[in-house]
């Protein structure tokens, strides 16, 4: 019991406080980045066996809105973006997106086709939520860029 | 014995310590006794000499001033003791509370490091913003009721044929 004298107890509390401070700093540092998944998806009425299908939650949500029943992944990119930073990723031969982390889950996505910026969409993206940019493609199909938060 | 008593009474007469009747009685005695008259005259002379030639003795300080000084000393000691007690209490509190204050400060700093707006997953209003740079492109938007999916449909055809072919060839 002499070890836990008043001075040792004080030092113990100070040590615990410093440890908590360091751990919280590391935790807060991790929380400053947002993890984004961006997929280029094609929607079509034709079924292609052996192709990469989108996950069921995405397929169900898109099917409720659009006429196409089949949705296939053309490319998937994972982005980790710190606060106030922007990252660019190419999704197809011509299309690429710039994603800006505006803090607290809010992102801003700019869609480019070649050198031309088509649109910029900003919103708070929750985990499990989707931001979709879409348009026509050749034939009876459409392109979809599906952006979701993974952390 | 009687003579000694009479001499003390003459001394008292010289010092004006007798009543009026006693003084009158002593004067009558002295009128009838030459020896007492001489004694009385000597005592008067001695008293006169003492009063005129005695060296004055000046006290360094009056009695009142002396006691005042003692009272001041007592008053000065009591606050000092009280002060030492207070410092002991402060030291005791510091030893006990310093670690707690340290932890409280650290917890406060950690709290301040957290995002000012906690993400509770509750959306009170839509914060969607849309910026379209090409006026020729028409846009339609769709948001689900629970805001779990937002769709922007662009009247813009993107040729994915090559990507499509790569997909098919995979």
> pLDDT per residue over A14-25, tens digit each?
776 677 666 555
Q: Considering only the beta carbons, identify the residue of A13, A118, A131 that sits closest to B150.
A: A131
> pLDDT per residue over A104-150, tens digit each?
889 999 999 888 889 999 999 988 899 999 998 888 889 999 999 98
> pLDDT per residue over B59-75, tens digit each?
677 777 878 888 888 87
| Residue A61 in tokens | 């949500």
Predicted pLDDT at A9: 62
Q: Considering only the beta carbons, identify the residue of A24, A72, A133 that sits closest to B113.
A: A24
Would the CB atoms of A130 and B148 count as touching at under 8 Å?
A: yes
Query: Chain B neighbours among A 116-135 (CB < 8 Å)?
Result: 116-124, 126, 128-135
CA B151 to each of CA B56, B124, B125, B144: distance values in angstroms, whole numbers, following the listed order? 118, 20, 17, 9
Q: Are strands A130-137 and A95-101 parallel, antiparallel or unpaired?
A: unpaired
Predicted pLDDT at A99: 95
**Cα radius of gyration rounded to whole Å, chain B:** 58
pLDDT at B18 over 60: yes
Secondary structure string (H, E, C) spanning chain B: CHHHHHHHHHHHHHCCCCCHHHHHHHHHHHHCCHHHHHHHHHHHHHHHHHHHHCCCCCCCCCHHHHHHHHHHHHHHHHHHHHHHHHHHHHHHHHHHHHHHHHHHHHHHHHHHHCCCCCCCCCCCCCCCEEEECCCCCCEEEEECCCCCEEEEEECCCCCCHHHHHHHHHC
pLDDT at B157 over 50: yes
Predicted pLDDT at A3: 47
| Calculated CA dihedral for residues A59, A64, A69, A73, nearest 10 degrees | -30
pLDDT band for B169, please (50, 70, 90 cuts): very low
Nearest CA in chain B to A60: B149
pTM over 0.90: no
> pLDDT per residue over B26-60, tens digit each?
888 888 888 889 999 999 999 888 888 877 777 67
| Residue A50 in tokens | 């052996």
- What count of Cα atoms within 13 Å lies in the side-chain half-sphere of residue A2? 0
Partners of residue A124 on adjacent β-strands: A106
Q: Which of A125, A136, A140 to mutate to test the interface with B (most CBs of B within 10 A)?
A: A136
CA distance A104 to chain B (A): 7
Nearest CA in chain A to B131: A120
- Residue that wins the pLDDT comparison between B113 and A7: B113
Single out the residue of A112, A109, A118 nearest to residue A146, CA to CA. Answer: A109
Partners of residue A135 on adjacent β-strands: A143, B154
> pLDDT per residue over A41-63, tens digit each?
999 988 888 888 999 999 999 99
Query: Chain B neighbours among A 57-76 (CB < 8 Å)?
Result: 61, 65, 72-75
Is residue B162 within a helix (H) or strand (E), and if so which, with residue range? helix B161-169
pLDDT at A79 over 90: yes
Predicted pLDDT at B170: 43
Nearest CA in chain A to B100: A13
Residue A8 sits at the chain B interface (C-beta within 8 Å): no
């Amino acid at each position: 019991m002499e070890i836990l004298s008043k001075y040792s107890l004080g030092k113990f509390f100070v040590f615990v406080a410093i440890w908590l401070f360091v751990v919280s700093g590391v935790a807060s540092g991790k929380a400053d980045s947002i993890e984004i998944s961006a997929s280029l998806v094609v929607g079509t009425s034709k079924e292609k066996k052996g192709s990469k299908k989108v996950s069921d939650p995405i397929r169900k949500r898109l099917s409720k809105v659009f006429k196409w029943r089949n949705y296939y992944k053309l490319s998937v990119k994972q982005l980790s973006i710190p606060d106030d930073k922007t990252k660019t990723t190419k999704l197809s031969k011509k299309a690429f997106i710039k994603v800006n982390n505006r803090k607290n889950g809010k992102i801003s996505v700019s869609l480019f086709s070649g050198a031309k910026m088509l649109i910029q969409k900003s919103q708070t993206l929750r985990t499990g939520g989707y931001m979709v940019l879409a348009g026509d493609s050749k034939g009876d199909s459409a392109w979809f860029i599906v952006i979701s938060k993974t952390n | 014995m009687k003579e000694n008593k009479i001499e003390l009474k003459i001394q008292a007469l010289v010092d004006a310590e007798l009543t009026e009747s006693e003084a009158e009685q002593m004067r009558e005695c002295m009128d009838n006794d030459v020896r007492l008259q001489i004694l009385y005259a000597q005592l008067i002379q001695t008293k006169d000499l003492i009063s005129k030639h005695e060296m004055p003795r000046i006290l360094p300080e009056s009695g009142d001033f002396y006691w005042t000084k003692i009272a001041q000393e007592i008053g000065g000691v009591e606050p000092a003791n009280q002060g030492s007690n207070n410092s002991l209490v402060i030291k005791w509190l510091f030893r006990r509370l310093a670690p707690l204050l340290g932890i409280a400060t650290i917890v406060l700093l950690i709290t301040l490091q957290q995002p000012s707006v906690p993400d509770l997953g509750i959306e009170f209003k839509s914060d969607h913003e849309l910026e379209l740079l090409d006026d020729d492109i028409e846009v339609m938007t769709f948001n689900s009721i629970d805001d779990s999916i937002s769709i922007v449909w662009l009247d813009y055809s993107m040729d994915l044929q090559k990507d499509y072919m790569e997909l098919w060839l995979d």
